[in-house]
Amino acid sequence: MSVQAKLSPLSKRLFEAKRQKKLSFEQIGSKMGRDEVWVAALFYGQAKPTPEDGEKLSSILNIPQAHINDDLGPEFFPDRGGLMSIPPTDPTLYRFYEMIQVYGYPMKAIIHEKFGDGIMSAIDYTVKIDKEEDPNGDRVKITMSGKFLPYKKF
């Protein structure tokens, strides 16, 4: 099943409005005062907007506030993780999976050496995606920052 088939009607409407207005996630995020990755997560139903976020999104995309509130209001809770199979079949997403397959244990070992026994939070977390121009081919720069959470001893 495709990701598009799993999207809510509102998510499909958000993507269509974004396309019609020729806006990037970065442009929408700038107008909302939010990061572009968070805005993209919102479009996929994987982030929960505040009422103020909903008002701003309504204004930016010209979607009635009531429609946003109906689908993303107080009763909405994001479904984080249900959009893809594991391993993912999309080549871009598969490369992230491949990075973890190849470098996951080395990254884990270095986190443990530097911080101790624990994990990096994906809740208290930010990610930034930048384009680095390079004469040998442009590069994708991804900076992840997550709070370190030590395992509790009991």
State the pLDDT at residue 1. 66
> ∠26-32-33 over CA atoms, to 5°?
85
Point out the residues that are catalytic.
95, 98, 121
What span, in angstroms and rounded, lies between the C-alpha atoms of 71 and 151? 36
Percent of the chain with pLDDT over 90: 68
Do 99 and 42 reside in the same domain of the chain? Answer: no
Residue 64's H or E segment, with its range, is none
> Which CATH number fits the domain that encloses residue 100?
3.30.1160.10
Range of the domain at 140: 91-150
Let me know whether 10 and 57 are in one domain. Answer: yes
**Alpha-carbon distance 121 to 58, whole Å?**
31
- Residue 71 has what pLDDT? 81
52-107, pLDDT tens digit by residue? Answer: 999 999 999 999 988 888 887 778 888 777 788 888 888 999 999 999 999 898 99
Short-list 94, 154, 151, 91, CA closest to 121: 151
Are 66 and 103 in a shared domain?
no
Name the pTM for this structure.
0.82
CATH number, domain with residue 9: 1.10.260.40
